[in-house]
């Protein structure tokens, strides 16, 4: 029944869980194509023209230019601000109860239907232009799972990527340059560990609940991925039912990454060439003890469930 559908591998979870590098490695699989955090394509890409993972502004990137034309025709006539506003009215955490509910108000349903149609055209164009079998979307956003579920031409597979909440909280404390805005030196947002732990709990709890509604669901720990990447890739291939060879690892944890066309995400998406996968346990020695304990207490139910305690 799903042979003619667009196969989407959606990476769900919370930010700073290693999804960018995880997606890049998956993108090295034959017939797999990584598009980054696709939820940002409307604002950061087609509206603001931030940099693609290939280092070129998205409106000038040969890949995204072809995708936009294939999906929407005369792109200069597309009302991008309207689509950005439309997405903000349906694809938000506050609307998740409505997305899960079997009933939606008429106005919300009209917006959801319009946005869903646009999203389906976008995925179809990505598949056509990339000539791929599996599109990897690392948006991570729980509402995105529910929206994709309702698209009749999407064959949805969800990988729930989790990482130790303390490592995530420490990462959000770091000062990182935002590289995708040409000509500007801006920094990514920073959050305190207590707030991060609370959001980590919320996002992962929601993905756990949504995962029960998705027949093709797999939970993976980031730490397990970097320790044994080939075993993790085998699990993913089993999930999507694709029989392809793993990327050529130079050593157990070193892989050669190609340039990509990822949208938004961690600045590491601009890196290519030989990279080494590593757990990054700096938080264990450098994180403030009081903040570490609070983050542990707040997120302890899922830390225990995921085997981190």
Q: What is the mean pLDDT of the chain?
A: 90
**Per-residue model confidence as pLDDT tens digits over 100-136:** 987 889 999 999 999 999 999 999 999 999 999 999 9
Residues 6+ apart with CB under 8 A from 130: 33, 63
Residue 103 φ/ψ, nearest 5 degrees: -130, 135
Residues 6+ apart with CB under 8 A from 218: 157, 158, 159, 160, 235, 236, 239
Q: Distance (Å, rounded) from C-alpha 287 to C-alpha 272?
A: 29
Q: Are 162 and 221 in contact (CB under 8 A)?
A: yes
Residue 2 confidence (pLDDT) above 70: no
- Residue 213 has which token pair? 């509604």
Kindly list the domain boundaries of the chain, sorted by start residue: 6-305
Q: Distance (Å, rounded) from C-alpha 101 to C-alpha 18?
A: 31
Residue 254 confidence (pLDDT) above 60: yes
**Per-residue model confidence as pLDDT tens digits over 11-42:** 999 998 999 999 999 999 999 999 999 999 99
Q: Distance (Å, rounded) from C-alpha 175 to C-alpha 240?
A: 36
Residue 255 confidence (pLDDT) above 90: no
**Average pLDDT for 255-277:** 86
Q: Distance (Å, rounded) from C-alpha 204 to C-alpha 130?
A: 31
CATH for 6-305 (3.40.50.300, 3.30.70.20, 3.30.930.10, 1.10.1200.10):
3.40.50.300
């Amino acid at each position: 029944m799903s042979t003619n559908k667009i196969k989407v591998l959606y990476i769900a979870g919370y930010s700073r869980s290693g999804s960018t590098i995880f997606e890049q490695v998956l993108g090295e699989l034959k017939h797999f194509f990584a598009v980054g955090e696709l939820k940002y394509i409307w604002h950061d890409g087609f509206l603001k023209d931030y940099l693609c993972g290939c280092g070129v502004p998205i409106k000038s990137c040969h890949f995204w230019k072809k995708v936009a034309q294939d999906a929407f025709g005369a792109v200069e006539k597309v009302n991008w601000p309207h689509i950005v506003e439309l997405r903000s009215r349906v694809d938000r955490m506050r609307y998740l109860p409505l997305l899960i509910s079997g009933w939606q108000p008429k106005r919300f349903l009209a917006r959801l239907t319009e946005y869903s149609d646009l999203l389906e055209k976008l995925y179809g164009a990505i598949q056509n232009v990339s000539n791929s079998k599996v599109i990897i979307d690392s948006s991570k956003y729980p509402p995105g799972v529910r929206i994709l579920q309702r698209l009749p031409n999407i064959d949805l597979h969800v990988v729930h990527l989790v990482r130790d909440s303390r490592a995530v909280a420490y990462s959000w404390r770091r000062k990182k340059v935002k590289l995708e805005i040409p000509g500007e030196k801006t920094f990514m947002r920073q959050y305190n560990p207590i707030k991060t732990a609370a959001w980590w709990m919320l996002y992962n709890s929601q993905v756990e609940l949504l995962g029960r509604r998705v027949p093709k669901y797999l939970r993976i720990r980031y730490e397990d991925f970097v320790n044994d990447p080939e075993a993790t890739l085998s699990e993913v291939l089993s999930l999507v039912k694709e029989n392809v060879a793993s990327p050529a690892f130079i050593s157990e944890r070193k892989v050669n990454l190609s340039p990509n066309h990822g949208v938004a995400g961690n600045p590491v998406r601009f890196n290519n060439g030989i990279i080494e996968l590593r757990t990054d346990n700096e938080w264990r020695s450098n994180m403030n003890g009081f903040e570490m304990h609070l983050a542990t207490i707040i997120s302890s139910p899922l830390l225990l469930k995921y085997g981190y305690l």
